Chains A and B, each alone.
Chain A
Amino acid sequence: GQNIDQPTEMTATEGAIVQINCTYQTSGFNGLFWYQQHAGEAPTFLSYNVLDGLEEKGRFSSFLSRSKGYSYLLLKELQMKDSASYLCAASDSNYQLIWGAGTKLIIKP
């Protein structure tokens, strides 16, 4: 079957660094997405990886290892506004997104 695993909740301190992990099993693979979702709002696109390696975009970076079925999202210099859920999604052989349940990130001052 198809499955996405990510931690349910994480806590970090303002100004620190946090890494959110995601493992996936899909029928075929066409890329890994990360979305951010603030409470009561819609998901918004953060990053997309299809090749192995690290993609950096400002304070956020995303890493992919296709051989391990593994990705992480790295958030640096955490700000209170980064408190949100982070959704991992893998694109399968039909280009449909398989979604994880999301990781709720709590930032403490």
Chain B
Amino acid sequence: NAGVTQTPKFRVLKTGQSMTLLCAQDMNHEYMYWYRQDPGMGLRLIHYSVGEGTTAKGEVPDGYNVSRLKKQNFLLGLESAAPSQTSVYFCASSPPGQGMETQYFGPGTRLLVL
């Protein structure tokens, strides 16, 4: 049981490049989330999903897109990376029946945009 995994662990991009971050969970969780974490700030929700085929915007969605084609996977895309998107990105999932709470986190992806 791997829990929540994220790919890649670390990436360097140039301004304007695109990339996709992959999150996978093997716990059969309905809800999945993408957060970013910056120094001195709390986790900020980018997008989330309450089930396969559904996505919704969080607190800071601009510059990001997401897809949930399969229940176990949640993809975060950056179409045109900007230095302001340098951050640590965490994916999380919640078990069914408990709402959007008790979240289980992946190990994070460190992204540097030059």
Nearest CB in chain B: distance from A83 CB, A: 18
Q: Say yes or no: A102 contacts B101, CB within 8 Å.
A: no
Find A96's partner among B40, B90, B100, B104 (CB 8 Å cutoff). Answer: B100
Q: Say yes or no: B102 contacts A48, CB within 8 Å.
A: yes
> A4–B42 Cα gap in the complex (Å)?
9
Cβ-based interface call for B103 (8 A): yes
Q: Say yes or no: A45 contacts B107, CB within 8 Å.
A: no
Give the secondary structure class of B's interface. loop
Cβ-based interface call for A43 (8 A): yes
Q: Say yes or no: B102 contacts A101, CB within 8 Å.
A: no
Q: Which residues from chain A contact B90 at a C-beta distance below 8 Å?
A: 42-43
Q: Say yes or no: B58 contacts A96, CB within 8 Å.
A: yes
Q: Which residues from chain A contact B101 at a C-beta distance below 8 Å?
A: 30-31, 33, 48, 91, 95, 97
Cβ-based interface call for B105 (8 A): yes
> A44–B103 Cα gap in the complex (Å)?
8
Q: Which residues from chain B contact A8 at a C-beta distance below 8 Å?
A: 40
Q: Say yes or no: B107 contacts A99, CB within 8 Å.
A: no
> A96–B103 Cα gap in the complex (Å)?
11
Find A95's partner among B100, B105, B106 (CB 8 Å cutoff). Answer: B100
> A43–B48 Cα gap in the complex (Å)?
17
Q: Mark A79-109, 1 if CB is under 8 A from B, else 0.
A: 0000000010101001111111110000000
Nearest CB in chain B: distance from A104 CB, A: 11
Nearest CB in chain A: distance from B51 CB, A: 14
Cβ-based interface call for B44 (8 A): yes
**Using a CB–CB distance below 8 Å, which chain A residues touch chain B?**
4, 8, 30-31, 33, 41-45, 48, 87, 89, 91, 94-102
**Using a CB–CB distance below 8 Å, which chain B residues touch chain A?**
40-45, 48, 58, 90, 99-108
Closest 10 CB pairs of A and B: A99-B42, A42-B105, A95-B100, A99-B43, A95-B99, A101-B42, A43-B105, A100-B42, A42-B107, A101-B41
